[in-house]
Amino acid sequence: MNARPRIDTAGRRARLAVRQLLTPGSRARTAEEVAESVLALHASDPSSVFLSAGARMTDPGIPEVERALYEDATLVRMHGMRHTLFVVPADVAPLVQSSTTRKVAERERRGLVAFAAEGGFDEAWLARVQEEALAALAESGHASGSRLGELVPDLRQGIAVSVGKPYEAVQTIGTRLLRVLGMEAAIIRRRPVGSWTSNQHHWAVHRPYPDLPVAQAQADLARRWLDRYGPGTVDDLKWWTGWTVREVRAALAACGAVAVTVDCGTEEREGFVLPEDVEPVPQPEPWAALLPGLDPTPMGWQLRDWYLPPEHRAELFDRSGNIGPTVWWDGRIVGGWAQRADGEVVTELFGRPGVEATAAVAAEADRLRAWLGPSRVTPRFRTPLERRLSA
């Protein structure tokens, strides 16, 4: 019986570097190329989309990403894996919708109906308000949530939640309804309200995605994930997608994934790659990168010991498990970074990564500051190291 092929840490780091466009020689010209290379850009923090793209582009800048998102619509902002906001290539959006978002949207719709009932509003009333909101959006072309509340006053109806608890609050029908309609792909987020770092967006009516069979969509998304992030374990793909173990194993089988032994840093585990990705890959030249909080590379796997030493996690993650800005050298995280009020990009390296690494990181910090120009970025999810550096 033949032993499984083994992919060690060096092989994993080599794949990561080139396939996710992190070496200087692999950088992209367009935002679309970046999104294609990482499959999905985390968008819970709007600035992460632009910073993640900029780290992988030969000529980074805000206008290039805005063009792809808002002018050409070749990139789509949508709820996807783990109920999280992502920016994905337009051709990937239907896969995400059918494989993942649709089921979550159904649950969110049931929650919306229950939420409305708590305020004394039945489904007929909710359906009327929804119809009026969609009609107002269609007539205006696009509108912010607050503007829609002016056009359809019932959207501003408030309902108390968590009554009697310290975190009791009032939520509006509009806030919940727009979220659900977005997850159902009836509407889509367009330009932000304010600057590129704003978390509020205008909405527009959207044409529904093709209704793909769930198993087919999951197999296709799993194949694309393995192409960018493989080798990966069942736990990695389960964490990244939010699927069940059964769904993950079925998707891996359907896309023809091959089992390998993979080095996870502190242990070896069963992992999977595409059939054409079993053989060793060339090692790239050493490289440095400054990646933002929630960048897709450090968030690509659940088992992270092969690129992130466990002793540094507390400094780089917030209490909810969101990773902050990281400094990379040759396939591993070696520190963190922050931008100060005067625009300076400062770094802190763990240990002594060496003269070459220190110089390369400094050059990347200068590059980041230069293309950010007068913009100032504070991560939405702040970590201990980022807070300390930015002070």
pLDDT tens across 320-368, in order? 999 999 999 999 999 999 999 999 999 999 988 899 999 999 999 999 9
Task: Report the alpha-carbon distance of residue 249 to residue 105 in Å, rounded.
Answer: 23
Task: Report the alpha-carbon distance of residue 17 to residue 26 in Å, rounded.
Answer: 8
What's at 351, amino acid-wise?
Answer: G
Residue carrying structure tokens 């992209």: 28
Where b means 16+ CB within 10 Å and e means fewer, 358-386 reads bebbeebbebbeebbeeeebebbbbbebb
Asked whether the CA dihedral 250, 254, 256, 257 is positive or negative, the reply is negative
Q: Can you give 156-207 as a three-state secondary structure string?
A: HCEEEECCCCCCCEEEEHHHHHHHHHHHCCCEEEEEECCCCCCCCEEEEECC
pLDDT of residue 169: 87
Contact 253/285 with Cβ under 8 angstroms?
A: no
Considering the domain boundaries, does residue 55 fall inside one?
A: no
Task: Report the alpha-carbon distance of residue 161 to residue 168 in Å, rounded.
Answer: 6
Task: Report the alpha-carbon distance of residue 338 to residue 29 in Å, rounded.
Answer: 25
Q: In this predicted model, what pLDDT tens digit does every residue of 146-186 receive, in sequence order?
A: 999 999 999 999 998 877 788 778 899 999 999 999 999 99
Considering the domain boundaries, does residue 225 fall inside one?
A: no
Considering the domain boundaries, does residue 52 fall inside one?
A: no
Considering the domain boundaries, does residue 348 fall inside one?
A: yes
Q: What are phi and psi of 323, to 5 degrees?
A: -80, 145
Taking 70 as the pLDDT cut, the residues of the chain under it are 1-2
Smallest Cα–Cα separation from 230: which of 222, 238, 241? Answer: 222
48: left (phi over 0), alpha (psi -120 to 50) or beta: alpha
Cα-atom radius of gyration of the chain, to the nearest Å?
22
pLDDT of residue 162: 78
Considering the domain boundaries, does residue 62 fall inside one?
A: no
- Judged by DSSP in three states, 211 sits in coil
Provide the edge-to-edge strand list for the sheet that holds 268-273: 6-7, 258-263, 268-273
Q: Output the CA–CA distances (angstroms, integers) from residue 152 to 11, 147, 200, in the order listed.
A: 56, 9, 18
Q: Structural domain tally of the chain?
A: 1
Q: What is the token pair recorded at 352?
A: 């002594």
Domain span at residue 322 reads: 288-390
pLDDT of residue 1: 47
Considering the domain boundaries, does residue 318 fall inside one?
A: yes
Considering the domain boundaries, does residue 279 fall inside one?
A: no
Considering the domain boundaries, does residue 349 fall inside one?
A: yes
Q: Where are the beta strands (DSSP E) in the chain?
A: 6-7, 41-42, 75-79, 85-89, 158-161, 169-172, 187-192, 201-205, 258-263, 268-273, 288-291, 326-329, 332-339, 345-349
Smallest Cα–Cα separation from 69: which of 57, 53, 80? Answer: 53
Q: What are phi and psi of 75, to 5 degrees?
A: -120, 145
Task: Report the alpha-carbon distance of residue 198 to residue 43 in Å, rounded.
Answer: 11
The percent helix, strand, coil of the chain (3-state, each to 5) is 45, 20, 35
Q: How many residues does the chain have?
A: 391
